[in-house]
Structure 1
Amino acid sequence: MSVDANSPPLQPMQASSIAEPDQVLQTRMTKNGYLLFRNLLPATAVTRLRQSIASILHKHGWIKNDEDTGSITTIRSPMREGEASEGFFDVYDEVMRLEPFYALAHQPVLLQIMQRVLASDCFPHPLSICRFGWPEHDAATTPPHQDFPNNQGSLRLTAAWIPLTDVPVSRGGLAILQGSNQGNTILPLDFHLGPGNRQAVLPDHLQRLPWVSTHYRPGDVILFSSTTVHRALPNHDSQYLRLSVDYRYLPDGDALTPPVLEPHFARESWDSIYQGWKDKRFCYYWQQHDYTEVPWSDEYHRLPETHLNHALRAESEYRRQRQTQQKQQTGSQEPNTDEQ
């Protein structure tokens, strides 16, 4: 299993089963840093969310059509997460208002398996994220990182990454650095163009660990700890957009920080998002749970001043390449006016 000639070979993931005893699942999570469950979620719930998001993407001219085939064909150039000048928030703000987007995090089977793995009652952070994996956008693909610096609070925080589309390895699925969670060490950071503009700096002993991934299908779920190093693989499937969502679950009584109680990017209030929802059970649900609120620390995101020049060069090169790509795309769309 390999992505391209410049990437190390990937090893296959080990699948787990909800029929296995709790102790087996907990031991495997502690050892490997992840658990993969095939076809865990109801197809109707995943399909409903995918169709809702596809309808928004189609309306804004991101994709070819909104037919539900399990794959999404994009017709526009890639963009970085949060790139307002490219119309990112025209789409993302609408996704953030979707009731099925938040409801999926509360699927009973997902909550039950998370409670078994954590050996505790738990609840999802209100902060929920939708990811768009653009084809041929390697420079801004999500780099190796840990979730703890972006969320903070409790080290017991556990993520659920859920593909909404068919995601073979070539389409940029999630890869896990197996065993990188052991010791719960928070790694130093370097600049990166991908989401969060940070990547983990891997010490030698972690670089020797295997990267694992698989062909994901809608309904699959992968759980991983807050210190597990993970990344998105590059999407080299030239026409298909990878669509996924991720939620993070906190054991009752543990700590969280104020940002995780807000919508992603905090552009709208919850009152605004909840307007028109049919099921009010998931409105302000976290207020019924026990947790400790602790301050957010910038320390986990601080970069050395020596990284500034690298960041500026990377930004400049990225913009230059994007301008070239956009000119080429515009040129290829111009009509042929040559005389016949």
Structure 2
Amino acid sequence: MDPAIKPATRAFEDATPLLSRPEELRRVAAEKGYLFFKHFFARDEIMAMRCLLLGVLQEEGLLDPGKPLLDGIGNQPAIDGLQPEEINWNGIGTTQQVYRKVQKLEAFHAFAHHPKMLAMFGGLFGERAFPHPRNIARIMLPSEALKVTPPHQDFLHIQGSADTWTCWAPVGDVPRSLGGLSILEGSNNAGLLGVTAAEGAGGLETILCNLGYEWAEGDYEAGDMVVFHSLTVHKALPNRHPGRVRLSLDLRYQPASQPIENASLMPHGPFEWDELYEGWTREDLMYYWKREAFDFVPFDESIRWQKDKIC
């Protein structure tokens, strides 16, 4: 760990032993608002995904050609030549051209259907888990133009069922000094909090004051993941490793019986499913949500600006 990084107020506790005790798993999840799993995925699975994502950056000339691919070292002159609006596009840390290629990767979307993941969320929900197709990759290039993601609650952006959970999985080793995810433990029990405008992904920062909660965090290894409730406040830590790309996945799940907001079934970005599906071989991954009987709830823009909920 970088000696300049102070230890977290709370360290992540591995929830793996709770997988065989679903009632205890649900109790801890409701109390803390998150669950951390050590080595949940096989390291080889994560490194294969890392190779795919970094391969796209390599094709675009955004990696240092003199360094090993898996090291993820950016081609700094090429990155510094990007305009701020190019690299800050849609909060994913890279250009739209790169992201279109990533969103077209069948293996990227297939990862959200990992049997172990569906089984874990099924145990957490006490019913069948539905994986949202709106999968997100964070491909954070090393650039001073990028802003750190501020504290926020996902529900403001997702809506639909409040029981939606996000899986944040690092694609490679992500110590705190590389910019891992920090969780405000128990903040899911505070309800929907007020926000203010902010730089960084999402454009909104949750107003935090006198809540009495503590941040929890840790050093992630490839294969680790953290899952959290849509009302749990979380934030990214700054990348203190010059030149290093940080890769992670945001995958979302909800109980299949719960309502959903229509945008959760659309691609992440200005893309169309027909375009992204070109060349895919697994029909079970395409338009699978059309086999569901969802109740749809409209997106409520007004709840994103509850400025009366301030200190």
By the TM > 0.5 criterion, same fold? yes
Length, aligned pairs only:
297
Alignment of structure 1 residues 97-246 onto 2, 5 Å: 97-135=104-142, 137=144, 140-183=147-190, 185-205=191-211, 208-246=212-250
Amino acid at match of 1:16: A
Q: Is the 8 A contact 2:129 2:255 kept in 1?
A: yes
Shift of the 117–166 alpha-carbon distance from structure 1 to 2, 3 Å rule, reads same
Selected match of 2:280 from 270, 277, 280: 277
Percent of pairs identical after alignment?
30
Which whole-Å CA distance do the structure 2 matches of 1:87 and 1:154 have between them? 29
Q: Is the 8 A contact 2:177 2:239 kept in 1?
A: yes
Which residue pairs with 1:81 in the alignment?
A: 88
Mean Cα deviation higher: 221-230 or 293-302: 293-302
Q: Which amino acid aligns with 1:89?
A: Q
Query: How many Å apart are 1:67 and its aligned residue?
Result: 4.0
Per-residue deviation at 1:238?
A: 1.1
Cα distance in 2, alignment partners of residues 186 and 3 from structure 1:
35
Q: Distance in 2 between matches of 1:60 and 1:97?
A: 15
1:301 aligns with one of 279, 299, 304 = 304
Give the secondary-structure state (helix, strand or coil) at the position aligned to 1:140. Answer: coil
TM-aligned CA deviation for residue 177 of structure 1: 0.4
Determine helix, strand or coil for the equivalent of 1:40: coil
The answer to whether the Cα contact below 8 Å between 2:90 and 2:201 also exists between their aligned partners in 1 is no
For residues 300-319 of structure 1, the aligned pairs below 5 Å read: 300-302=303-305
Secondary structure of the corresponding residue to residue 105 of structure 1: helix
Confirm or deny: 8 A CA contact 1:32 1:179 kept in the other structure.
Answer: yes
Select the structure of larger CA radius of gyration: 1
Spell out, residue by residue over 1:222-278, the C-alpha distance to the aligned partner (whole angstroms, 9 max, x if none): 11000000000011111211100111101112111111111002x221111111012
The equivalent of 1:317 in structure 2 is none
Distance in 2, matches of 1:98 and 1:24, equals 36
* Alignment check: 8 A CA contact 1:138 1:234 kept: no
Question: In 2, are the aligned partners of 1:126 and 1:262 still within 8 Å (CA)?
Answer: yes
* Residue of structure 2 in register with 1:11 after alignment: 10
CA distance in 2, matches of 1:24, 1:81: 40
Equivalents in 2 of 1:135, 1:25: separation in Å? 37
Q: Secondary structure at the match of 1:255?
A: coil
Establish whether residue 29 from structure 1 lines up as the match of residue 29 from structure 2. Answer: yes
C-alpha separation in 1, matches of 2:219 and 2:109: 25
| TM-score, normalising length: structure 1 | 0.81
SS at match of 2:40: coil
Mapped partners of 1:293, 1:247: distance in 2 = 20
Q: Write the distance in 2 (CA, Å) between the matches of 1:74 and 1:82.
A: 18
1:167 and 1:215 in contact (8 A); partners too = yes
Equivalent in the alignment of 1:334: none
**Counterpart in 2 of 1:287?**
290
In the alignment, which residue of structure 2 is the partner of 1:330?
A: none
| Contact 2:196/2:305 (<8 A) preserved | no
**Equivalent position amino acid for 2:180 in 1:** G
The change in CA–CA distance for 1:87 and 1:159 in structure 2 (over 3 A counts) is: closer
Could you tell me whether the CA contact under 8 Å between 1:163 and 1:217 is conserved in 2?
yes
Q: CA deviation at 1:145?
A: 0.3
Listed as ranges, the gaps of 5+ residues in structure 1 are 305-340
Q: Whole-Å Cα distance in 2 between the matches of residues 108 and 259 of structure 1?
A: 24
Q: Is the 8 A contact 1:168 1:216 kept in 2?
A: yes
Per-residue deviation, 1:62? 1.7
Please, what TM-score do these two structures have when normalized by structure 2?
0.88
CA shift digits 1:19-59 (9 cap, x unpaired) = 44011111111111111111112334322321111111011
- Residue 102 of structure 1 aligns to a residue whose secondary structure is helix
**In 2, Cα distance between equivalents of 1:177 and 1:28:** 14
Distance 1:228 1:81, change over 3 A: same
Separation (CA, whole Å) in 2 of partners of 1:192 and 1:164: 26
Q: What is the aligned-residue RMSD (CA, Å)?
A: 2.5
Inter-partner Cα distance in structure 2 for 1:264 and 1:61: 23
Contact 2:195–2:207 at 8 Å: present in 1 too? yes
Structure 2 CA distance for partners of 1:87 and 1:236, relative to 1, 3 Å: closer
- Specify whether residues 253 and 247 from structure 1 end up closer, same or farther in structure 2 by C-alpha distance, changes over 3 A only: same
Q: Which amino acid aligns with 2:33?
A: G
